[in-house]
Structure 1
Amino acid sequence: MESKQATIKIEKRSDYISTRIAGDLEYGIIEDVKKVLQSQKPETEYGYILDMQSVTNIDSTGFGMIVNFAKKVLSKEKRIVIIVADEFIRNLFSISQCDKVFPIARNESEALHLLKENNWTGELSINDY
């Protein structure tokens, strides 16, 4: 049986930071990913794209990690866009109502457009979530 794991890769671009997260974002697995996210300093023009195209599962702990990171980014007046291509993971974002808090894109070009245009307004604020 294959053990579950979560990985993260940070790529600084000229005006935003791309953060690729892969694996299972579940309780007991995400501590290393969480530490890397929390150590990030949102010193970028626009903010972050969280690329979750390779995430295979996410639970409430994973969503909590994303929300806490987003609060840090938003407190610095930067933006965050999440890429979710998989329908199962998109459904989890819908069930958790995270899709009402964050712009969710299907690919990097759509995410970059959402990040730079800054005209997406969610149904819920991060503080109301």
Structure 2
Amino acid sequence: MNQKKIAMNIDTKADYILIAFTGDLEYGMIEEIKKELQSLNLETKHGYIIDMQKVSNIDSTGFGMIVNFAKKVSVKEKKIAIIVVDDFIRNLFAISQVDKVFPITKSEEQAKQIIKEGWLGELSLSEY
């Protein structure tokens, strides 16, 4: 049986913060990461890019962690874009309708453009 793992890497760029997840964002796996994410200093010019390129699975707990982080970020009027390249993970975002709240991109370059210029989703964070 494969041992499930999760990791988070935070990279502060010139005008945004890149948060890269690796592994499974699932119940029972994310408690430490959730605490670390909530204690993150929110000082950034434009916002946050959440890189999910190395995420192999996400469940409602993982989505909840992202949404709670986004609520904290929105108070500071910063933006979030999420990089998702895997079709399976992209489908999970569509099923959960998270893709209607956050821009889902295929690259860091695309995500950077969105947090600088803005994006209007079908649902607001408060409606989700």
TM-score (norm: length of structure 1): 0.97
Cα-Cα RMSD: 0.7
Matching residue of 1:96? 96
Per the TM alignment, residue 14 of structure 1 is displaced from its structure 2 partner at its CA by: 1.0
Q: Does residue 30 in structure 1 map to residue 30 in structure 2?
A: yes
Residues 1-129 of structure 1 aligned to structure 2 (within 5 Å) = 1-118=1-118, 120-129=119-128
Once residues 123 and 117 of structure 2 are traced to their aligned partners in structure 1, the CA distance between those partners, rounded to angstroms, is: 19
Deviations 1:64-116 (Å, cap 9, x if unpaired)?
00000000001100000000000000000000000000001001111111111
Q: Secondary structure at the match of 2:114?
A: helix
Once residues 49 and 125 of structure 1 are traced to their aligned partners in structure 2, the CA distance between those partners, rounded to angstroms, is: 18
Q: Secondary structure at the match of 1:28?
A: coil
Structure 1: 4+ residue segments shifted above 2 A:
none
Runs of at least 5 residues in structure 2 that lack an aligned partner in the other structure: none
Q: Secondary structure at the match of 1:11?
A: strand
Matched residues, number: 128
Once residues 61 and 31 of structure 1 are traced to their aligned partners in structure 2, the CA distance between those partners, rounded to angstroms, is: 10
